[in-house]
Structure 1
């Protein structure tokens, strides 16, 4: 039986052709988003396993007591599911849906067309790892971190597939005591 050789994870920045007034003009695309090439399920699983190993190495304190991963809707769903599978952890997804559900935490994604995002079922003492596909400025995750802490939850770390190293996200999150772990980095147009 022949072995399937999977391409390594890659990411790059492309210009968006249609953007709103508050949206970023560029978009990070990567080899797991299925935009350019089909994605083999093993590539998704391997990326989740690699990201979990990095999290354990770079943010080991408290990762043995994670209650769940909290992924951000749209781009954060795939890395959340792949990381949940590798870590054998449950997950929740924060959505841009305002619903009458308990434990609502509202936070902002300032560069999006629709800026309000909601995480539900958040209760005091819950220990989470926040997951997204890309991190640029870090403002969304910083606001989410503040709102989770106000609700009594404990964000332990942030994990992403791609970190833009030119916009200060790592420093912003570090100042909040939230380690940032990324599968790869890129240098965006500052």
Structure 2
């Protein structure tokens, strides 16, 4: 199941327009979607957080899990506004103390994400937040990590979807809420 912000929400045009597109970064043929320009625009940033909060304020979310690194930008203000705790999922060797990790495949090789042992408790209702879903590998690993420790993933929330890359297919039916899509752009 996939959901998206309603096209009728006039805030979405301004949000999308505030995201800078950088051609040929980090390599030729790639168009990098830079959310740092959205962060410079107070209205676009506030509207982004407000739309997410409007969606999740009554969904009884216990934990907002943010995926490194830009999930750390959007996750904490959402967590504060809806009265949930925030849990970071990070690249290997970035968190002190005992961690649980999940490996995932990349185009060439593998990577891992980790979170603190005990940060998500069995039965807690979780929202997974990242800035962007492209191929879906990182988001899928984040979901698997939460489920391995007994958390329930209610939904995933991303500012941007690059739908041409079909990343949602890796989510195995988990609901995802997207604000803007850069399909074919």
Question: Is residue 71 of structure 2 the alignment partner of residue 76 of structure 1?
Answer: yes
Alpha-carbon distance between aligned partners in 1 of 2:107 and 2:120, rounded to the nearest angstrom: 24
Alpha-carbon distance between aligned partners in 1 of 2:175 and 2:182, rounded to the nearest angstrom: 18
Alpha-carbon distance between aligned partners in 2 of 1:84 and 1:138, rounded to the nearest angstrom: 23
- 2:15 maps to what in 1? 9
Unaligned runs of 5+ in 1: 1-6
User: Following TM superposition, where does structure 1 have runs of at least 4 consecutive aligned residues deviating by more than 3 angstroms?
Assistant: 15-19, 111-114
- 1:149 maps to what in 2? 147
- 1:88 maps to what in 2? 83
Give the alignment partner of residue 39 of structure 1, picking from 34, 38, 41. 41
Conserved in 1, the CA contact under 8 Å of 2:102 and 2:144?
no
Write out per-residue CA displacement over residues 76-107 of structure 1, whole angstroms, 9 at most, x where no aligned residue: 11111232243232211111142453452334
Conserved in 2, the CA contact under 8 Å of 1:131 and 1:159?
yes
TM-score (norm 1): 0.71
Write out per-residue CA displacement over residues 159-187 of structure 1, whole angstroms, 9 at most, x where no aligned residue: 011111112223432xx341000111111
- 1:51 maps to what in 2? 52
CA RMSD of aligned residues (A): 3.1
- 1:116 maps to what in 2? 112
The verdict on how the C-alpha distance between 1:38 and 1:150 changes in structure 2, with shifts beyond 3 A counting, is closer
- 1:183 maps to what in 2? 179
Unaligned runs of 5+ in 2: 1-12
Report the structure, 1 or 2, having the larger strand content.
2
Alpha-carbon distance between aligned partners in 2 of 1:139 and 1:16, rounded to the nearest angstrom: 22
The verdict on how the C-alpha distance between 1:97 and 1:80 changes in structure 2, with shifts beyond 3 A counting, is same
Alpha-carbon distance between aligned partners in 2 of 1:124 and 1:74, rounded to the nearest angstrom: 25
The verdict on how the C-alpha distance between 1:114 and 1:146 changes in structure 2, with shifts beyond 3 A counting, is closer
Write out per-residue CA displacement over residues 134-158 of structure 1, whole angstroms, 9 at most, x where no aligned residue: 0112121112222322222211110
TM-score (norm 2): 0.73
